[in-house]
Amino acid sequence: MGRGAIWQAGLASVVVLCLSAGSLVAGAAARRSACRVPRLGGMRLSDARERAAHAGCAVHLAGRAVEDAGVQTVQRQSPRAGAHGTTVTLWVNPLCRGSADAGGPPSSVKPGPTELITGFYLDGGPADRRWSSPGCRRVTPSMHEEPPGAGSVQVVNAAGAVVATRAAASGSLATISLPAGSYTVTGTFLDATINGQHPVQSMSVEIPSNRTVRKDFVLSIK
């Protein structure tokens, strides 16, 4: 083999090696650019973006328009957590608005001690409460529930006798053990006034044996 042929063969080998090395570098770069997708569902969008960036993932948004990334939450993501990719798509829940005070949880009767549990809540006010969920549903009863206010409770039995009085501090509920029976329960809102007077409400309550009744006083405000 002449020197020219040897030189050409050597050059070809160098080119092949360079191409192979280039492919390896490109493959390594591609692997480095791929991220391990973190779990982002249910997070506030601002936090989800930060977590995705920390993992090296680009973010593409879908779903509702972003009005407040600090409130709106991620409904779902693709790809799922743990997968590898360069971009994660986030479907965003809407920004929801409601009244400043949303009242207490619904009334209930559950197995337990024979007693009444009651609290004092406001319902209404300026529409300045904001949250984010699919279809603007209130996901859990406690999610948007204000702490109860202060009040006083008087319980009168069917014979007209006062059988219990309780005071409920702000942030607390009144728990009253009672014999099974029918009662008239009167509550005074100590954290609210109307025309200079504390509002008073009365309600009828049936307390079954071995049941805990939850029934609150709710004052509607504008």
pLDDT in tens, 130-153: 788 888 876 544 444 567 889 999
Percent of the chain with pLDDT over 90: 59
Both 108 and 165 in a single domain?
yes
pTM of the model: 0.51
How many CA atoms lie within 13 Å of 109's alpha carbon, on the beta-carbon side? 9
138 phi and psi angles, rounded to 5 deg: -80, 105
Q: What's the pLDDT tens digit per position in 67-106? A: 999 989 999 999 999 999 999 999 999 998 776 556 678 8
Cβ pair 120, 90 in contact under 8 A: no
Across the chain, mean pLDDT equals 83
Both 29 and 39 in a single domain?
no
Show which of 66, 94, 122 is a domain's final residue.
94
Predicted confidence at residue 104, as pLDDT, reads 73
Predicted confidence at residue 220, as pLDDT, reads 84
Q: In which domain, by residue range, is 13 found? A: 1-33
Side by side, which strands form the sheet with 115-118?
Answer: 108-111, 211-214, 115-118, 174-177
Q: What is the rounded radius of gyration, in angstroms, for the C-alpha atoms of the chain?
A: 32
